[in-house]
Amino acid sequence: MATTDMGELFQQKIDKEIKIEPRDWMPDAYRKTNLRQISQHAHSEIVGMLPEGNWISRAPTLKRKAILLAKVQDEAGHGLYLYSAAETLGMSRDQMVADLNNGKAKYSSIFNYPTLTWADMGAVGWLVDGAAILNQVMLCRTSYGPYARAMVRICKEESFHQRQGFEILLVLSKGSAAQKAMCQDAINRWWWPSLMMFGPKDSESTNSDQSIQWKIKRKTNDELRQQFIDMIAEQVKILGMTLPDDKLQWNPERKHYDFGEINWEEFWNVVKGNGPCNKQRLDARRKAHEEGAWVREAAKAHAAKRLAKVA
């Protein structure tokens, strides 16, 4: 069958909401886009462990430490499900990790910002996981089967992450003047970078149109960003805190909150590797990879020994 006919059949399958599975025929560009997005997503989970990992040894109580530890471990698990889903598209995990470590692969801009105080653990959970969930709920219905299935489990865990973040801030918001100030400061620093997580505005998004046609994405970057702003603008009232945007205002005609201009220059700067912590994050990943070499070698040797026994 000619590739164009195959392409038409493929689109019909997508339109009928039939999931695409690893052994099915798919256009090269569909394979490439999924591989790009899923591997970027996996890298984000793994690099995303670092800003919070920074606070595990400094959590204020044993209980807080156990919760944070569990959250960071969940993120490692998410990375693993996602690398496995990406591998079904034909690239090895070794190659994906190499691409991350040599700076070729992207990961979410948000993880290039520093976590300066304990309140940042709350802001990351509430805002960063909150933004992640909105995007990921949509991805539970993405057209590539292994990605959609991985997202279902990830979303269940992410909602716990968001609640624990909000609860950290809720406690601080009812605390001393210094704790309240710490809470507000963390919100101020994480608000704008969280909005950037959804990607460039629709008019500058290179992949959205095709990804929406293939139902990899179900909503545009701007649609999800607006949904997030509408949700957080209400939740912040419960904390008795404010969002650092003097243009934030309910618009009864649009039935959405209006908001100020995002600093896109800052966004692209971070994406290109020049954010406050890009170098630190990649250095940490490379170091962990080098120091873990003996584990990989031991695991390979063990697997080879077992295979030899079976043969």
DSSP lists the bridge partners of residue 144 as 20
Rule CB under 6 A: say whether 199 interacts with ligand FAQ.
yes
Q: How far apart are CA 17 and CA 28, in angstroms?
A: 20
Stretch that binds ligand FAQ, among 5-13, 37-45, 176-184, 273-281 (CB under 6 A): 37-45
Residue nearest to ligand FAQ (CB): 48
Number of residues that bind ligand FAQ (CB under 6 A): 29
Q: What is the per-residue binding string for ligand FAQ in 40-59, x denoting contact by CB under 6 A?
A: xx--xx--x-----------
**Shortest distance in whole angstroms from residue 230 CB to ligand FAQ:** 18
Stretch that binds ligand FAQ, among 13-21, 103-111, 250-258, 280-288 (CB under 6 A): 103-111
Query: Residue from 39, 108, 194, 226 that binds ligand FAQ (CB under 6 A)?
Result: 108
**Footprint of ligand FAQ on 70-89 (CB under 6 A):** 75
Question: Strand, helix or coil at 239?
Answer: helix
Q: Vertex 90, ends 200 and 94: CA angle to 5°?
A: 85
Find where tokens 């997580």 sit.
197
Rule CB under 6 A: say whether 271 interacts with ligand FAQ.
yes
Query: Residue from 34, 208, 226, 278 that binds ligand FAQ (CB under 6 A)?
Result: 208
Query: Residue from 34, 101, 109, 162 that binds ligand FAQ (CB under 6 A)?
Result: 109
Q: How far apart are CA 179 and CA 221, in angstroms?
A: 34
Find where tokens 């304990």 sit.
118
Closer by beta carbon to ligand FAQ, 251 or else 263: 263
Query: Residue from 179, 205, 269, 280 that binds ligand FAQ (CB under 6 A)?
Result: 205
Rule CB under 6 A: say whether 168 interacts with ligand FAQ.
no
Q: How far is CA 30 from CA 7, 24, 27, 39, 97, in A?
A: 10, 12, 5, 14, 21
| Number of helical H runs and strand E runs in the chain | 14, 2
Closest CA to 216 of 26, 5, 48, 6: 26
Contact 116, 190 (CB under 8 A): no
Question: Strand, helix or coil at 90?
Answer: coil
Stretch that binds ligand FAQ, among 1-9, 204-212, 249-257, 298-306 (CB under 6 A): 204-212
**Footprint of ligand FAQ on 114-143 (CB under 6 A):** 124, 128-129, 132, 135
Closer by beta carbon to ligand FAQ, 111 or else 259: 111
Rule CB under 6 A: say whether 211 interacts with ligand FAQ.
yes
Closer by beta carbon to ligand FAQ, 181 or else 262: 262
Q: Report DSSP letters for 258-293, one per residue.
A: E-----HHHHHHIIIIISTTHHHHHHHHHHHHHHTH
Sign of the CA dihedral with 201 first, then 204, 210, and 216 last: negative
Closest CA to 199 of 108, 275, 276: 108
**Shortest distance in whole angstroms from residue 289 CB to ligand FAQ:** 18
Find where tokens 């009232």 sit.
237
Residues engaged in binding ligand FAQ (CB under 6 A) = 36-37, 40-41, 44-45, 48, 75, 106, 108-109, 124, 128-129, 132, 135, 196-200, 205-208, 211, 217, 221, 271
